[in-house]
Structure 1
């Protein structure tokens, strides 16, 4: 199924190259977004978003965030992301992608206002099609 892409920029923050490859491939298959930026940890992503804001660029409207990463994990990213000045984070939707099925992680993730959903890896085409449908209706 090829859904018309509504999303300009998206971002994947994940340290697992196999997972990133799979998500990018699935995103391409369903025409999820026009551009995809990839960061290997939360710190690189925070630095990247800050650089985009400083340059007056539009930050990704959708972020796929892994929780367990070196340097800065997904939880730390969420805390720092909320504090980026002038980033217009209200227009960003974050989807947690994790291999963790721990109910505490799911509840904690949903406590953040801009976390829209929690997806247990691997991310499938149907997951992205549903996310696109939900995104378009919001």
Structure 2
């Protein structure tokens, strides 16, 4: 599926998972760039740097964020708490998807707390899951 998504942000601490996700994303050929943050704090700093500029480079603004929940230090839930408070230019156009090994049933109550969380998927990322996310991106008019 070809989609007009400028960039994707992967927030994942596992190198092997990042490698496999990059392979799938690159083969999809739907993104102009991929940015990887191996922890939530670095991801927030990256997003704040982009969002501070009202004329920000839209190539760097992630159209999609794939977030692991089980991160060292600041976990994915804490990331979402901070992300929701950013209120920076352009972030209402970003699809945020949790991609984790934690089953959804374990986190249903937490998921409801984040109205800007667009989906929750279990690892691993597959072409089918990526296409599902891209369809959601396009259907929500964020392309």
**TM-score where L is the length of structure 1:** 0.89
Is the aligned partner of 1:63 residue 2:61?
no
Change in 2 beyond 3 A, CA 1:102/1:8: closer
Cα separation, 1, equivalents of 2:30 and 2:3? 5
Structure 1 residue matching 2:86: 3-state secondary structure = coil
Question: What is the CA deviation profile of residues 14-69 of structure 1, one whole-angstrom value per residue up to 9, with x for unaligned ones?
Answer: 10111111111111122231111000011000011111123433421210000011
Q: Which residue of 1 aligns with 2:94?
A: 92
Q: Which residue of 69, 72, 75 maps to 1:73? A: 75
Task: List runs of 5+ in structure 1 lacking aligned partners.
Answer: none
Partner residue of 2:52 out of 51, 54, 79: 54
Aligned length: 136
Q: Name segments (4+ residues, structure 1) moved above 4 Å.
A: none
Could you list the runs of 5+ residues in structure 2 that have no partner in the other structure?
A: none
Counterpart residue number, 1:28: 26
* Gap change, CA 1:80 and 1:102, over 3 Å in 2: same
CA contact 1:46–1:77 (8 Å) conserved in 2 = yes
SS at match of 1:132: helix
Q: 2:35 aligns with which of 34, 37, 40?
A: 37
Matches within 5 A, 1:113-128: 113-128=115-130
Kindly provide the CA deviation profile for residues 63-87 of structure 1, in whole angstroms up to 9, marking residues without a partner as x.
0000011121111110111111434
SS of equivalent residue, structure 2 residue 3: coil
SS in 2 for 1:4: coil
Q: CA RMSD in A?
A: 1.6
**Corresponding residue to 1:11 among 9, 12, 15:** 9
Give the TM-score taking structure 2 as reference length: 0.86
